[in-house]
C-alpha cells in the first residue's frame, strides 16, 4: 500500500481528498502547513506527496524543491486554485514537480495518474 | 509728442545763396558808389573851376576886343588930325558895327570933351570936362588905357567905360593928341553866361567887381534889378580870397550846400563866381546808385530763381528718397518711386538707400516667411498637441478602463481561487459519496440523479470561474505566424459542432499570413461560434457561417455569422463590455474576451445584426508577409 501525504491548509479539502484516495487503497497522511508537511515527509517517507502551491508559511514549490533533494523517486503533485503561467509550470518542473492539478480536479483521473506514476517508479524501486 | 516743424532745405539754400552772392555785391556796390560819388564831386568841382576861369578869360577878351577896336581907331591918321567931322564918321561906324557900344567920346589933350556920339543922345549933347578924371589921366598916362566907371546905364543894366589915348604918329616920338572913351554895355556877358551856364534852381554864374558891383549874371532878369547884388555870404567869400581862383564846398547862410568856384580875370580883376548845388554833382552818383540797386535787384531775383532751381535739383532726389523711405516705413515695397542715382553724394546715398531697401525687403520677406512658418508650425504644434491630448485622454481612458479591468481581474482571480477550494472539497466529497454508494446496494436512483446534478453544477461553476480567470489573466502574448485559412480549417475541424448546426465556410482564395497568439485567437473564435450555436438552439438549429476576406491590403477579416434572433440595437454597443449579458446563465465575459484579444492583436471587432435574420461578428486582423 503506497503512502501518500497531502499538504494543504484547507482541512476539508485534505480530508475529502484523503478519504477518496483511501477508498482507492492509498495510505493517506495529512499536513496543514509546509513545516509540518516536510517533517511528515521525513518521518513517513511517502511515495506520493500532493501539496498546495500556496501555503500559509511557505510556497509549495519550496517544499517540492526540499523534498526532491531527499528523494529522486518521490512523486510530487502540485495543487493549484489559479492559472499557472507556463513559466511557473516550467520552473516547477525544474524544481522537481511531476504533475499539476487544478482545483476542482477529476478524482478518478487523479487516482489513475498516481497509480501510473507509481507503477513507473516500481521497477526501479 | 508734438511734430517738430522741419525747415525746408530749399529755403536754407536760397538764404545762403543770397547771402553769399548779394553781400559781396552790396559791399562792392556801396564802396563803388562812395568812391564814384567822391570822384564825381571832385571832377564836378574841377570842371566848374575851369568853367569859371574860362568865363574870366571871356570877360577879359570881351573888354579887350572893344579896347583894341578903339586903339585901332585912335591910331588912324584921319582920326589923330582931330578933325571932328572925320572923327564923327569913324565913331558912327563903330556904333553901327558894335551894338554893345552905347556912347563914344573924344577928349582933347586937355581932357575936355570935343566930340560925343551915342545911341540915346539927343542932338548937341553936353560936352563934359574930364581933365581931373582917371578916365583921361589913366588913358594918357603911362598906363595907356582906362577901364572903369562901372555903372548902370540909365539905372537899367551895367556898363563899363573904356578909354585909350589918341596918339599922333606923324611926329616922333608920338604925341598924345587926346583920348577916346567908350561906354560899353555889359549885357552880352550876362547873355553869354545864361547861354553857357543856364541858371536853374540854385545854379548860377555871375561876374562881380571886387567892390561887389554885379557885372553879369546867368539869370538875365537878375541884372535888371535895381539892387542887383550877390548875397553877402557869397560876396564875403569871393572878395576876400587871396588866390586868383578856387573851388570848394560852401554852406550858404540858408543852409544849402553848394559847389562853389571862383576865378579872377587877369586883366580886369573882376571875379567870376559859379555855384551849383551839391546835389547836381551827386546826380550822376545817384544815377549810378540807382543803376547798381537795379542790378542788385536783378541779381537777387536771378539768385532766388537759381537757388530755387538748384534747391529743387538737390532736393528732388532727396524728396524721392524720403518718399521712398516713407513707403518703406509703411512696409510698402512695391511701386517704389524711381530713385535717381547720380554720381555724387546724393547718388551714393540713393545707392545705399536702394541697398538698404533691398536688404530690408529681403529681411522683411524672411521675417514674414518666418512668421508664416512659425504660424504654420504653431498650427502644426497645436494640432499635434490636440492629437496628443486626444491620445493621452484616450490612453488615460484606456488606462482607467485597464485599471478597472485589472481590479476586476484581480478580484475575479481572488474570488475564483477562493471558490475553487470549496468547489474542490464539494467535488471530492461527492466523488466519495458516489464511490461509497457504488460499492454497496443499488442506491436510490434519485440520489444518483442529484449526485449528477451536483457534479454538473460543479462543472458549471468551474466553467464560470475559468471564464473569469481567463478574462482577467495577465499573460504575455505569444505571437506565431500562421497561414490563416489553414489554421481556421484546423480549428473548425476539431470544434465540437452539435448536430443541429450547419457549418458554412467561405475562405478567400488568397491565403494570407497572420501573426497571432493562437491560444487567444482560438479562444475568441470559439467564444463567437459558441454564442452562435447558443442562439440557434435545437430542434430548429441553424447555420454558422465562417468567412475570410481581404477588405484592404494589409488586413484580413474573419466573419462569424449566425442565423439567430439578432441583437436588439439598443444593446448593440454594450455587448463587448465585461459582465454584460442577456443570457439567464452567463458571465458576460465571452465577447469581452473577444474584444480584449483583437485589441491585443492591434485589430478590431465589428458587429452587424438584423433582428430575426442573424448576427455577424467581423474580426479585423493585420496581415504579415
The domain spanning residue B534 has which CATH number? 3.30.565.10
The pLDDT of residue B244 is 81
- Cβ atoms < 10 Å from Cβ of B367: 12
The domain spans of chain A are 3-106
The pLDDT of residue A28 is 94
Residue A123 scores a pLDDT above 70: no
Dihedral class, residue B330 (left if φ above 0, else alpha if ψ from -120 to 50, else beta)? alpha
Residues of A in contact with B438 (CB under 8 A): none
- Give the best residue of B415, B421, B438, B517 to mutate against chain A (max A CB count within 10 A): B421
The phi and psi torsions of B428 (rounded to 5 degrees) equal: -60, -45
As given in the structure block, the three cell numbers for residue B15 are 538764404
Q: Compute, in degrees rounded to 10, the torsion defined by CA atoms B12, B18, B19, B24.
A: 160
The pLDDT of residue B23 is 84
A residues 103-122 near B, CB within 8 Å?
103-105, 107-108
Say if residue B66 is in the same domain as residue B208.
yes
B451 falls within a domain? yes
SS3 B383: helix
Nearest CA-CA partner of B50 in B257, B232, B259:
B259
Last residue of a domain, one of B279, B305, B320: B279
Asked if B547 contacts B558 with a C-beta cutoff of 8 angstroms, the reply is yes
B300 falls within a domain? no
Query: In angstroms, rounded to a whole number, what is the distance separating the alpha carbons of residues A7 and A51?
Result: 5
Mean pLDDT value of segment B163-174: 81
Query: CB A16 to CB B429 under 8 A?
Result: yes
B304 falls within a domain? no
Range of weakest confidence among B333-342, B345-354, B355-364, B463-472: B333-342
Span B48-60, pLDDT tens digits: 889 889 999 999 9
Complex-level ipTM: 0.84
For residue A21, what is the nearest residue in chain B, using CA coordinates?
B432
Mean pLDDT value of segment B593-597: 91
B247 falls within a domain? yes
Q: Name the minimum distance, in Å, from the CA of B598 to any CA of chain A.
A: 21
Residue B435 scores a pLDDT above 80: yes
Q: Name the minimum distance, in Å, from the CA of A79 to any CA of chain B.
A: 10
Span B70-100, pLDDT tens digits: 888 888 877 777 788 888 888 888 888 888 8
Mean pLDDT value of segment B280-294: 78
For residue B439, what is the nearest residue in chain A, using CA coordinates?
A23
Computed over every residue of chain A, the mean pLDDT equals: 89
The pLDDT of residue B7 is 54
- Domain at A3-106: CATH architecture: 3-Layer(aba) Sandwich (3.40)
SS3 B23: helix
The phi and psi torsions of B304 (rounded to 5 degrees) equal: -60, -45
Residue burial B147-166, b: 16+ Cβ < 10 Å; e: rest: beebebbeeebbbbbbbbbb
Range of weakest confidence among A43-57, B487-501, B573-587: B573-587
Query: In angstroms, rounded to a whole number, what is the distance separating the alpha carbons of residues B281 and B44?
Result: 6
Which has the higher per-residue pLDDT, B336 or B152? B152
Say if residue B529 is in the same domain as residue B606.
yes
Give the nearest partner residue to A81 out of B417, B426, B470, using CB atoms. Answer: B417
Strand pairing of B542-549 and B604-610?
Answer: unpaired
Residues of B in contact with A20 (CB under 8 A): 428, 431-432, 435
Query: In angstroms, rounded to a whole number, what is the distance separating the alpha carbons of residues B512 and B404?
Result: 36
Task: Report which secondary-structure segment, H or E, holds B411.
Answer: helix B345-439
Residue carrying C-alpha cell 440595437: B569
Query: In angstroms, rounded to a whole number, what is the distance separating the alpha carbons of residues B153 and B146?
Result: 18
Confidence tier at A49 by pLDDT (50, 70, 90)? very high
Residues of B in contact with A16 (CB under 8 A): 424-425, 428-429, 432
Instruction: State the DSSP code for B129.
Output: B
Q: What angle do CA B602, B605, B609 make, to 5 degrees?
A: 175
Q: Name the minimum distance, in Å, from the CA of B392 to any CA of chain A.
A: 32
Confidence tier at B566 by pLDDT (50, 70, 90)? very high
B435 in A contact zone (CB under 8 Å) = yes
Task: Report which secondary-structure segment, H or E, holds A41.
Answer: helix A34-44
A residues 11-40 near B, CB within 8 Å?
12-13, 16-17, 19-20, 23
Asked if B238 contacts B29 with a C-beta cutoff of 8 angstroms, the reply is no
- Give the best residue of A50, A78, A103, A107 to mutate against chain B (max B CB count within 10 A): A103
Dihedral class, residue B111 (left if φ above 0, else alpha if ψ from -120 to 50, else beta)? left
Beta bridge partners of B217: B206
Q: How far is CA B434 from CA A108, B321, B421, B426, B431, in A?
A: 11, 116, 20, 12, 5
Q: Name the minimum distance, in Å, from the CA of B428 to any CA of chain A.
A: 5
Nearest CA-CA partner of B67 in B163, B201, B207, B170:
B163
End-to-end alpha carbon distance in chain A: 14
Instruction: State the DSSP code for B125.
Output: P
Asked if B152 contacts B190 with a C-beta cutoff of 8 angstroms, the reply is no
Nearest CA-CA partner of A111 in A26, A8, A29:
A26
Query: In angstroms, rounded to a whole number, what is the distance separating the alpha carbons of residues B402 and B219?
Result: 147
Residue A71 scores a pLDDT above 80: yes
Mean pLDDT value of segment B423-435: 90
Query: In angstroms, rounded to a whole number, what is the distance separating the alpha carbons of residues B277 and B250?
Result: 9
Task: Report which secondary-structure segment, H or E, holds B614.
Answer: strand B614-624
Mean pLDDT value of segment B417-422: 85
- Cβ atoms < 10 Å from Cβ of B310: 15
For residue B437, what is the nearest residue in chain A, using CA coordinates?
A23
Residue A125 scores a pLDDT above 70: no
Say if residue B469 is in the same domain as residue B481.
no
Task: Report which secondary-structure segment, H or E, holds B567.
Answer: none
Last residue of a domain, one of B247, B262, B279: B279
Asked if B258 contacts B277 with a C-beta cutoff of 8 angstroms, the reply is yes
B266 falls within a domain? yes
pLDDT above 90 coverage of chain A, percent: 65
Confidence tier at A55 by pLDDT (50, 70, 90)? confident
Domain that holds residue B591: 477-624
Confidence tier at B513 by pLDDT (50, 70, 90)? very high
B41 in A contact zone (CB under 8 Å) = no
Query: CB A81 to CB B462 under 8 A?
Result: no
The pLDDT of residue A97 is 93
The pLDDT of residue B340 is 66
Nearest CA-CA partner of B105 in B29, B192, B163:
B163
Range of weakest confidence among A13-17, A47-51, B573-577: B573-577
A81 in B contact zone (CB under 8 Å) = yes
Instruction: State the DSSP code for A82.
Output: S
Last residue of a domain, one of B249, B279, B309: B279
Say if residue B576 is in the same domain as residue B486.
yes
Query: CB B436 to CB A23 under 8 A?
Result: yes
Span B15-65, pLDDT tens digits: 887 888 778 888 887 888 788 778 888 888 888 889 889 999 999 999 999
The phi and psi torsions of B340 (rounded to 5 degrees) equal: -75, 130
Residue carrying C-alpha cell 458549471: B460
Computed over every residue of chain B, the mean pLDDT equals: 85
B19 falls within a domain? no
Say if residue B455 is in the same domain as residue B497.
no
Query: CB B428 to CB A16 under 8 A?
Result: yes
pTM for the predicted model, two decimal places: 0.44
Quote the distance between the C-alpha of residue A59 and its chain's center.
13
Residue carrying C-alpha cell 452562435: B532
Span B230-266, pLDDT tens digits: 888 888 887 777 788 888 888 888 888 888 888 988 8
The pLDDT of residue B1 is 42
B residues 562-621 near A, CB within 8 Å?
none
Say if residue B458 is in the same domain as residue B491.
no
Nearest CA-CA partner of B470 in A29, A35, A83, A65:
A83
**E strands within chain A?**
3-7, 27-31, 48-52, 75-80, 99-102
As given in the structure block, the three cell numbers for residue B381 are 504644434
Residues of B in contact with A51 (CB under 8 A): none
Beta bridge partners of A54: A59
Query: How many domains does the structure of chain B reveal?
Result: 3
Nearest CA-CA partner of B55 in B245, B277, B248, B184:
B245
The phi and psi torsions of B259 (rounded to 5 degrees) equal: -95, 115
Q: Name the minimum distance, in Å, from the CA of B613 to any CA of chain A.
A: 39
Mean pLDDT value of segment B163-186: 85
Query: CB B425 to CB A13 under 8 A?
Result: yes
The phi and psi torsions of B144 (rounded to 5 degrees) equal: 75, 10
Beta bridge partners of B271: B208, B264
Nearest CA-CA partner of B176 in B82, B84, B67:
B82
Query: CB B425 to CB A85 under 8 A?
Result: no
Nearest CA-CA partner of A17 in A98, A111, A80:
A111
Nearest CA-CA partner of B479 in B419, B520, B451:
B520
Give the nearest partner residue to B431 out of A12, A20, A103, using CB atoms. Answer: A20
Say if residue B546 is in the same domain as residue B425.
no
Q: How far is CA A125 from CA A44, A72, A73, B28, in A?
A: 16, 11, 8, 154
Confidence tier at B2 by pLDDT (50, 70, 90)? very low
Asked if B166 contacts B181 with a C-beta cutoff of 8 angstroms, the reply is no
Query: In angstroms, rounded to a whole number, what is the distance separating the alpha carbons of residues A48 and A76?
Result: 6
The pLDDT of residue B161 is 92
Confidence tier at A50 by pLDDT (50, 70, 90)? very high
Amino acid at each position: 500500500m503506497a503512502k501518500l501525504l497531502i499538504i494543504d491548509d484547507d482541512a476539508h479539502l485534505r480530508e475529502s481528498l484523503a478519504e477518496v484516495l483511501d477508498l482507492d487503497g492509498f495510505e493517506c497522511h495529512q499536513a496543514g502547513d509546509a513545516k509540518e508537511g516536510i517533517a511528515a515527509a521525513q518521518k513517513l517517507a511517502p511515495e506520493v506527496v500532493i501539496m498546495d502551491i500556496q501555503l500559509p508559511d511557505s510556497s509549495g514549490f519550496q517544499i517540492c524543491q526540499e523534498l526532491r533533494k531527499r528523494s529522486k523517486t518521490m512523486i510530487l503533485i502540485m495543487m493549484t486554485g489559479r492559472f499557472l503561467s507556463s513559466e511557473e509550470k516550467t520552473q516547477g518542473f525544474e524544481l522537481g514537480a511531476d504533475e499539476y492539478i487544478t482545483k476542482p480536479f477529476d478524482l478518478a483521473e487523479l487516482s489513475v495518474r498516481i497509480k501510473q506514476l507509481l507503477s513507473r517508479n516500481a521497477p526501479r524501486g | 509728442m508734438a511734430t517738430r516743424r522741419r525747415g525746408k532745405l530749399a529755403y536754407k539754400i536760397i538764404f545762403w545763396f543770397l547771402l553769399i552772392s548779394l553781400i559781396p555785391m552790396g559791399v562792392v556796390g556801396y564802396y563803388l558808389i562812395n568812391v564814384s560819388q567822391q570822384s564825381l564831386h571832385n571832377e564836378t568841382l574841377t570842371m566848374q573851376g575851369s568853367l569859371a576861369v574860362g568865363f574870366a578869360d571871356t570877360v577879359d577878351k570881351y573888354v579887350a576886343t572893344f579896347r583894341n577896336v578903339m586903339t585901332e581907331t585912335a591910331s588912324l591918321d584921319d582920326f589923330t588930325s582931330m578933325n571932328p567931322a572925320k572923327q564923327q564918321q569913324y565913331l558912327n561906324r563903330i556904333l553901327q558895327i558894335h551894338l554893345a557900344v552905347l556912347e563914344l567920346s573924344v577928349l582933347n589933350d586937355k581932357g575936355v570933351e570935343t566930340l560925343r556920339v551915342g545911341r540915346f543922345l539927343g542932338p548937341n549933347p553936353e560936352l563934359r570936362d574930364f581933365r581931373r578924371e582917371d578916365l583921361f589921366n589913366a588913358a594918357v598916362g603911362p598906363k595907356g588905357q582906362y577901364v572903369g566907371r562901372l555903372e548902370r546905364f540909365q539905372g537899367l543894366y551895367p556898363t563899363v567905360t573904356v578909354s585909350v589915348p589918341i596918339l599922333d604918329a606923324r611926329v616922333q616920338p608920338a604925341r598924345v593928341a587926346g583920348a577916346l572913351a567908350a561906354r560899353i554895355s555889359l549885357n552880352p556877358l550876362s547873355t553869354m553866361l545864361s547861354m553857357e551856364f543856364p541858371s536853374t534852381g540854385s545854379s548860377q554864374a555871375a561876374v562881380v567887381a571886387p567892390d561887389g558891383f554885379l557885372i553879369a549874371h546867368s539869370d538875365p532878369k537878375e541884372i535888371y534889378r535895381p539892387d542887383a547884388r550877390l548875397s553877402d555870404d557869397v560876396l564875403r567869400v569871393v572878395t576876400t580870397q587871396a588866390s586868383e581862383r578856387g573851388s570848394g564846398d560852401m554852406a550858404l547862410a540858408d543852409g544849402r550846400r553848394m559847389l562853389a568856384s571862383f576865378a579872377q580875370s587877369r586883366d580886369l580883376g573882376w571875379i567870376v563866381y559859379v555855384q551849383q548845388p551839391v546835389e547836381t554833382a551827386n546826380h550822376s552818383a545817384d544815377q549810378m546808385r540807382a543803376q547798381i540797386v537795379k542790378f542788385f535787384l536783378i541779381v537777387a531775383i536771378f539768385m532766388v530763381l537759381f537757388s530755387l532751381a538748384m534747391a529743387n535739383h538737390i532736393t528732388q532726389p532727396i524728396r524721392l528718397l524720403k518718399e521712398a523711405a516713407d513707403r518703406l516705413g509703411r512696409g510698402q515695397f512695391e511701386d517704389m518711386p524711381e530713385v535717381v542715382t547720380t554720381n555724387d553724394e546724393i547718388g551714393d546715398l540713393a545707392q545705399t538707400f536702394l541697398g538698404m531697401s533691398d536688404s530690408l525687403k529681403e529681411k522683411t520677406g524672411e521675417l514674414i516667411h518666418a512668421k508664416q512658418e512659425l504660424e504654420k508650425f504653431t498650427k502644426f504644434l497645436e494640432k499635434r498637441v490636440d492629437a496628443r491630448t486626444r491620445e493621452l485622454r484616450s490612453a488615460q481612458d484606456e488606462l482607467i478602463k485597464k485599471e478597472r479591468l485589472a481590479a476586476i481581474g484581480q478580484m475575479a482571480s481572488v474570488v475564483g481561487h477562493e471558490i475553487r477550494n470549496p468547489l474542490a472539497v464539494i467535488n471530492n466529497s461527492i466523488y466519495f459519496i458516489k464511490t461509497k454508494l457504488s460499492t454497496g446496494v443499488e442506491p436510490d436512483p434519485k440520489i444518483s440523479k442529484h449526485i449528477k446534478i451536483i457534479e454538473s453544477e460543479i462543472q458549471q461553476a468551474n466553467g464560470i470561474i475559468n471564464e473569469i480567470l481567463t478574462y482577467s489573466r495577465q499573460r504575455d502574448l505569444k505571437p506565431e505566424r500562421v497561414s490563416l485559412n489553414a489554421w481556421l480549417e484546423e480549428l473548425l475541424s476539431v470544434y465540437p459542432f452539435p448536430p443541429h448546426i450547419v457549418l458554412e465556410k467561405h475562405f478567400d482564395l488568397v491565403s494570407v499570413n497572420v501573426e497571432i497568439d493562437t491560444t487567444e485567437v482560438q479562444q475568441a473564435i470559439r467564444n463567437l461560434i459558441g454564442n452562435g450555436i447558443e442562439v440557434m438552439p435545437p430542434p430548429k438549429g441553424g447555420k454558422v457561417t465562417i468567412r475570410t476576406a481581404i477588405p484592404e491590403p494589409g488586413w484580413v477579416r474573419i466573419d462569424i455569422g449566425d442565423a439567430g434572433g439578432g441583437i436588439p440595437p439598443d444593446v448593440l454597443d454594450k455587448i463587448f463590455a465585461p459582465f454584460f449579458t442577456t443570457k439567464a446563465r452567463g458571465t458576460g465575459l465571452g465577447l469581452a474576451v473577444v474584444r480584449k484579444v483583437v485589441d491585443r492583436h492591434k485589430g478590431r471587432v465589428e458587429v452587424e445584426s438584423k433582428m430575426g435574420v442573424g448576427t455577424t461578428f467581423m474580426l479585423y486582423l493585420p496581415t504579415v508577409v
